[in-house]
Structure formats: C-alpha cells, structure tokens
Amino acid sequence: MHVPDGFLDAPTSLATGAVAVTGVALALRGARRELDDRTAPMAGLVATFIFATQMLNFPVGGGTSGHLLGGALAAVLVGPATAVLCMSVVLLVQCLLFADGGITALGTNVVLMGMVGVGVGWLVFRLAQSVLPKKLSMVAPAAALGALVSVPVAALVFVLLYAEGGAVDIPLDTLLGAMVGVHTLIGIGEAVITFLAVGSIVAVRPDLVYGARRVLEQRPLEVKEALA
Amino acid sequence: MKHVSTKTVIAAGLLVALVLAGFVSFYASGDPDGLNRVAADKGFSGTEAAHRAEDSPLAGYETQGVGNGRLSGGLAGVVGSVVVLTVAGGIVYAVRRRTPAQKS
C-alpha cells in the first residue's frame, strides 16, 4: 500500500506529514511506558520481521498482490506506541534505501500503515479481547481479527485523503469500492500471518507479548513463577 | 515446558526474518499490489512521479551491479533487514526504561 509521490497534492502531503511527525513524537513518549530491558529486543525483532515480511507479496487474484502491513502484529507484540515507531522505521528505510513509497508521501504512508494500521489493529484486538474468554489461546485469534480489519480501514483512509487531495478527479464510490474490496482480501492474508507470528511467540514466551500481559496477570501465581 | 530464553526467541525470530528477506522473497508475487492495481484500473497511476531515491544502489529491492536475480534481491533483503534492526534497535534502546517495571 506504499503511496508513491504524485498521487496526492502538496497540501495533503504536508498535512499528513504534520500528522505523522506528531504521531511519532507521541509514540516516542508512549513507548517509554512499554519498553524496558526485557521488551526492547522484541521491538527490534518486530521491526525487522515486518520489513522482511513486507517483501513477500502474495497473490490475491485478478493479477493483483498484497503484502503484510504489520500494524496489528506490531501493536499486539510490543504495544501500540512502540509499534508506531517500528512501522515508521520500516517505512523510512523502504523509502530512502529501496525507493518504495514516495519521499513526499512518507508522511502519508506513516499515517496509513503506521498510525491507522496500528491504531485500528490495536483497538479491534482490545475489543475482541474484552469479548473473548480471557485465555492465552485467544490472544492470536484476537490479533488476527485486528489485522483483518486494519487493512481495509487503512485503504478507506487513503480514499478519504484521495478525495481531499488526489491528483485525478475520480468518482469516490468506485474508488472506495475498489480499494476496500481488494484490501479486504489482503486483510485475510494479513490475519493469517499475524495469527501465526503472534501464536508462535505466545506458545513459547507469552510474557514477551505485550497484548498477553493482561491475560497473564489474571492467572494464578504459580504460573508466573514457572515463567520467571 | 522447558523455559526458552529471550535471547533464543530473538535469535530464532531474526533468523526467520533473514531467511524470508534473503531467500523466500525471490518467490514473492510480482503482480502490482492492491493500491497500484486500483490506480491503474481507475486511471491515476500515470500521476506517479519518479522516485527521488531511484538511483539508490538498492532501489526496487535489487542490488545494483548484481546480475543474478536471486542474489540481487536476497542481498537487498538482508541489507535492509540489518539496517532496520540497527535503526529500530537503536531507537528503542535509547527510549526504554533502564530498569524493568516489574520483576518477573
């Protein structure tokens, strides 16, 4: 979903740039609460894993492909503020080193994949967690649900931005249908990858998964001792 | 269950990432992604401007001067992974609390 230069006009790109800078600044403050000596290595791993997985475009039919965005995955594993930092680093490196995602569109991409992807992924995950049984086995399915929803919502936000500052005048409803349609399919892939990645870490070290902490805290003391 | 150390989890995860970026990426779909596809279908892909970093030695996930496609893409993936790990790792280590919030 990397937006190149030229899709959105300068005022829109400036506005998303300002939102992105504010978002990253807030994330730097928020990440302090999420990160300590034990969780910081996870954040490095998550950023690297998302960069690697974003190279793996999978086909979604009709000669179209998609790749993991990773917002929900990062939010559940390391917390939403740290996730915004991880996503922003990935997008910055892709933009400057790999010419993937425009330079004037970097703010737009941080907003769409970083902030919207992480924010929606985390909110849906927390919502699912409040409804589902408080069990460790429910962490990965809740994360997958967050992932599934986050991709079409990011596509929806792109359409809103395009309606505001798109280079070409396009009927909004057809653009919306096309973007949300294809990104719902990509969202299914996003959900599968997120389920597998979160599920693997929960299986070996649930205490390293930010989104599993609440579940672990409710469990009896002996379990905590076993993990220590 | 046997306790798996944090180091092992991180090392295994990084190994998976390196294999994905350095090897599996060769088999990724080359079709346009969702956004590029919609842009082409709806007639606004032509407004895409040339990328200012298109002369980067790693532009387009290919390593300049490496002819073999498998090697060129794999090398780009591995270099990118190391750069992301270094930058993200540096930031989170600078931001983190020095002492764990909770003893576990």
Backbone angles phi, psi at A104, to 5 degrees: -75, -15
In eight-state DSSP terms, residue A116 is I
CA–CA separation, A91 vs B36, rounded Å?
17
Residue A144's domain comprises 10-227
Query: What is the overall mean pLDDT for chain A?
Result: 95
CATH of residue A158:
1.10.1760.20
What is the average per-residue pLDDT within A190-212? Answer: 97
Residue A1 domain-assigned (yes or no): no
Q: Which of A176, A223, A39, A31 is nearest to A114 (CA)?
A: A31
Tell me whether residues A7 and B100 touch, CB distance under 8 A: no
* Domains identified in chain A, total number: 1
Residue B96 touches partner A, C-beta closer than 8 Å: yes
Tell me whether residues B92 and A207 touch, CB distance under 8 A: no
Residue A40 touches partner B, C-beta closer than 8 Å: yes
**pLDDT at res. A218:** 80
Asked if A67 contacts A79 with a C-beta cutoff of 8 angstroms, the reply is no
Residue A207 domain-assigned (yes or no): yes
Residue A4 domain-assigned (yes or no): no
Residue A2 domain-assigned (yes or no): no
Residues in B closer than 8 angstroms to A2, CB to CB, are 33, 35
* Sequential pLDDT tens for chain B (104 residues): 568 999 999 999 999 999 999 999 999 999 999 999 999 999 999 999 999 999 999 999 999 999 999 999 999 999 999 999 999 999 999 999 876 555 44
Asked if B44 contacts B38 with a C-beta cutoff of 8 angstroms, the reply is no
Asked if A92 contacts A170 with a C-beta cutoff of 8 angstroms, the reply is no
Domain boundaries along the sequence of chain B:
1-28+61-99
Alpha-helical (H) ranges within B1-104 are 6-22, 34-41, 69-95
Classify A53 as helix, strand or coil.
helix
**pLDDT at res. B103:** 47
Distances (CA, A) of B17 to A27, A32, B40, B79, B83: 24, 26, 32, 12, 13
The interface predicted TM-score of the complex, written ipTM, equals 0.93
User: Exposure pattern of A48-87 as b/e (b: 16+ CB <10 Å)?
Assistant: bbbbbbbbbbbebeeebbbbbbbbbbbbbbbbbbbbbbbb
Residues in B closer than 8 angstroms to A158, CB to CB, are 35
Residues in B closer than 8 angstroms to A58, CB to CB, are 28-29
* From A2, A31, A53, residue closest to B95, measured CB to CB: A31
Residue A135 domain-assigned (yes or no): yes
pLDDT tens-digit readout, A102-117: 999 999 999 999 999 9
Residue A208 domain-assigned (yes or no): yes
Residue B39 touches partner A, C-beta closer than 8 Å: yes
Which of residues 9 through 38 in chain B touch A, CB cutoff 8 A? 9-10, 13-14, 16-18, 20-21, 24-25, 28-35, 37-38
**pLDDT at res. B84:** 98
Q: Is 80 exceeded by the pLDDT of residue A125?
A: yes
**Residues belonging to chain B:** 104
Q: Is the C-alpha dihedral spanning B86, B32, A170, A181 positive or negative?
A: negative
* From B13, B43, B48, residue closest to A7, measured CB to CB: B48
Distances (CA, A) of B15 to A58, B21, B22: 21, 10, 10
pLDDT tens-digit readout, A66-96: 999 999 999 999 999 999 999 999 999 999 9
